């Protein structure tokens, strides 16, 4: 059985959280003389610490309750808070499946947490045989699963995730930064079934708001309460909350952008496949392509010389570059540049 109290750090369980002016009086009209704000100006008031309007819209869209939602300053805040809630520095461990998103690793290092890296199979799926040995380790607190995975682009098999959710007694964080680009269902519909599940999503990719820094975690009410206790009181600025609210209000625009990106991805895949320097394009459930080329370092540098910036992933997957899908015009510039690079 999963017991939340058993895996939360003791100091967090006994924490007396900061009580902000907006915690003590949450009404919206009146003469506000309680937070030492400047009475003049446009952005002079503190933002809603619990982002209620934004959460209402998200709750409706995702078919969860407001209390199942945490909104953070990008997914990076979600990841960092998870470490601080569940992992005792210099003692606890987390597990990731490599190659994957770099922030799990960096956040582990910042929080003095040991990171166990299990290599994905040659199909970039989870190797349960390699993973099983670690599941009973009491110091292991969090398993990160990035699905669709960055930088490999593929969704992780549902049955493997189910197995881990059922057999691991710690927290499973599924990072769904790219979920809106694929047809697989989000795991946030499964919160009732798995008390140890945290689903992380973001406004940085499909919603087109990377500059606004809006990350979202979906989990049980008990887990969300812990996030709320540990977060900085006003962790998301009002302009950023409003940017997300306004994006959610134009759902058609969101769907159109995704359709356009998917269409461009297919087109770019076909055209890249014609090039001699392209060895392989991995199947992608995301808004980027992982492309194996003849010589990633040289081709990456040649592109940079032409002011086209891709991501060189040669260090993690030999001779691979990761290419984000751009506008039709940007993709055409990329293709023309690649045509002029020697094999
Ligand atoms: C881009 C990305 C994010 C987004 O992070 P933000 O801090 O929300 O911008 C999260 N996870 C993965 C795997 C990503 O690739």
pLDDT attached to residue 21: 87
Residue 8 makes CB contacts below 8 A (sequence gap 6+) with: 85, 86, 226
Among residues 48, 71, 47, 49, the alpha carbon closest in space to that of 59 is found at 71
As a whole number, the mean pLDDT across the chain is: 97
- Is residue 343 predicted with pLDDT exceeding 90? no
Q: Which two tokens stand for residue 98?
A: 């490599």
Q: What 3-state DSSP class applies to 69?
A: strand
Average the pLDDT over 223-249 and give the result: 97
Q: Note whether 99 and 316 are within 8 A (CB).
A: yes
Closest residue by CA, ligand 1 atom 14: 177
- Whole-angstrom distance, CA of residue 15 vs CA of residue 230: 8
pLDDT attached to residue 25: 87
Q: How confident is the model at residue 133 (pLDDT cuts 50, 70, 90)?
A: very high
pLDDT attached to residue 23: 87
171 in ligand 1 pocket by Cβ < 6 Å?
no
Alpha helices in 111-203 (DSSP H): 128-132, 158-167
151 in ligand 1 pocket by Cβ < 6 Å?
no
148 in ligand 1 pocket by Cβ < 6 Å?
no
pLDDT attached to residue 199: 98
Nearest ligand 1 atom to alpha carbon 215: 8
Instruction: Output the CA 92–ligand 1 centroid distance in Å.
Output: 24
Instruction: Output the CA 60–ligand 1 centroid distance in Å.
Output: 23
Helix, strand, coil tally for the chain in percent (to 5): 40, 15, 45
77 in ligand 1 pocket by Cβ < 6 Å?
no
If one residue of 202, 210, 286 were mutated to test the ligand 1 pocket, choosing by the most ligand atoms within 8 A of its CB, it would be 202
Nearest ligand 1 atom to alpha carbon 77: 7
Four-point Cα dihedral 170, 174, 175, 177, nearest 10? -160
Q: What is the pTM of this model?
A: 0.97
Q: Which two tokens stand for residue 140?
A: 């292991």
| 277 DSSP assignment | T
Between these two residues, 186 and 18, which has the higher pLDDT value?
A: 186
Q: What 3-state DSSP class applies to 274?
A: coil
72 in ligand 1 pocket by Cβ < 6 Å?
no
Q: Which two tokens stand for residue 127?
A: 């190797």
Residue-by-residue DSSP string for 288-343? EEEEEES-HHHHHHHHHHTT---EE-TTTSTTEEEEE---HHHHHHHHHHHHTS--
**% of the chain residues with pLDDT over 70:** 100
pLDDT attached to residue 22: 86
Show the domains of the chain with their CATH numbers: 11-249 (3.40.640.10), 252-342 (3.90.1150.10)
Q: Radius of gyration of the chain from Cα atoms?
A: 22
If one residue of 153, 204, 235, 316 were mutated to test the ligand 1 pocket, choosing by the most ligand atoms within 8 A of its CB, it would be 204
Q: Note whether 214 and 194 are within 8 A (CB).
A: no
216 in ligand 1 pocket by Cβ < 6 Å?
no
263-296 pLDDT tens trace? 999 999 999 999 999 999 999 999 999 999 999 9
If one residue of 79, 147, 150 were mutated to test the ligand 1 pocket, choosing by the most ligand atoms within 8 A of its CB, it would be 150
Q: Which two tokens stand for residue 152?
A: 């490999």
- Whole-angstrom distance, CA of residue 94 vs CA of residue 105: 9
Among residues 192, 227, 205, the alpha carbon closest in space to that of 78 is found at 227
- Is residue 15 predicted with pLDDT exceeding 90? yes
Residue with tokens 């459930």: 285
Strand ranges for the chain from DSSP E: 69-72, 93-98, 114-119, 140-146, 171-175, 197-202, 215-218, 278-281, 288-293, 311-312, 320-324
Q: Residue 281 pairs with which residues in a beta bridge?
A: 291
Instruction: Output the CA 79–ligand 1 centroid distance in Å.
Output: 10
Closest residue by CA, ligand 1 atom 12: 177
pLDDT attached to residue 127: 98
């Amino acid at each position: 059985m999963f017991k939340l109290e058993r895996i939360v750090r003791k100091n967090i369980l006994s924490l007396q959280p900061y009580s902000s002016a907006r915690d003590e009086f949450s009404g919206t009209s009146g003469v506000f003389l309680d937070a030492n704000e400047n009475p003049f100006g446009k952005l002079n008031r503190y933002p809603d610490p619990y982002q209620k309007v934004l959460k209402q819209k998200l709750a409706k869209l995702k078919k969860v309750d407001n209390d199942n939602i945490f909104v953070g300053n990008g997914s990076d805040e979600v990841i960092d808070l998870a470490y601080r809630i569940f992992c005792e520095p210099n003692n606890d461990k987390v597990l990731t499946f490599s190659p994957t998103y770099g922030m799990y690793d960096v956040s582990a290092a910042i929080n003095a947490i040991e990171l166990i890296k299990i290599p994905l199979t040659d199909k970039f799926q989870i190797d349960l045989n390699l993973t099983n040995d670690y599941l009973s380790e009491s110091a292991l607190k969090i398993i990160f699963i990035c699905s669709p995975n960055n930088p490999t682009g593929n969704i992780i098999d549902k049955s493997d995730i189910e197995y881990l959710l059922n057999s691991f007694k710690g927290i499973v964080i599924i990072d769904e930064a790219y979920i809106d680009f694929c047809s697989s269902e989000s795991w946030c519909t499964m919160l009732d079934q798995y008390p140890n599940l945290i689903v992380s999503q973001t406004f940085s990719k499909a919603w087109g708001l990377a500059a606004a820094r809006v990350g979202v975690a979906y989990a049980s009410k008990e887990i969300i309460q812990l996030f709320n206790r540990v977060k900085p009181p006003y962790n998301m600025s009002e302009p950023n909350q409003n940017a997300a609210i306004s994006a959610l209000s134009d759902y058609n625009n969101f769907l159109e952008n995704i359709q356009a990106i998917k269409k461009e991805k297919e087109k770019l895949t076909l055209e890249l496949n014609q090039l001699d320097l392209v060895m392989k394009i991995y199947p992608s459930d995301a808004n980027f392509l992982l492309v194996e080329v003849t010589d990633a370092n040289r081709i990456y540098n040649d592109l940079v010389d032409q002011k086209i910036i891709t991501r060189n992933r040669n260090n993690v997957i030999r001779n691979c570059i990761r290419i984000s899908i751009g506008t039709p015009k940007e993709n055409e510039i990329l293709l023309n540049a690649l045509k002029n690079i020697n094999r």
